[in-house]
Amino acid sequence: MKKLKNEKELVKKAIAEGMKYGEERGVVEFEPTDSANEKIEYIYRLLVHDKIIQPIPQDRISQLSMKHKLAIWASKLE
């Protein structure tokens, strides 16, 4: 897994866009007390469920791999 140049910014963008997507879809309401890790996991699972991104193999799922996958997704937005 090769790290992207501006991965931190892309992860932040992915969280913001993913939260907006989930709330517009009406499936989730994020609370201010939700941690970034919880948001990342929920957004990742929602995007996989909706077939927007390809799932990571079960044996390779980790917080880092989910962040990386979301950063790639965010880089392809606009």
Summarize pLDDT for 4-40 with one digit per residue, the tens. Answer: 889 999 999 999 999 999 999 999 999 999 999 999 9
Every domain of the chain and the residues it spans: 11-75
Predicted confidence band of residue 2 (pLDDT cuts 50, 70, 90): confident
Fold of 11-75: Four Helix Bundle (Hemerythrin (Met), subunit A) (1.20.120)
Structure tokens at 46: 């929602």
Quote the CA–CA distance of 76 and 21 in Å, as a whole number. 15
pTM: 0.92
φ and ψ of 26, to 5 deg: 85, 20
Q: Three-state secondary structure along the chain?
A: CCCCCCHHHHHHHHHHHHHHHHHHHCCCCCCCCCCHHHHHHHHHHHHHHCCCCCCCCHHHCCHHHHHHHHHHHHHCCC
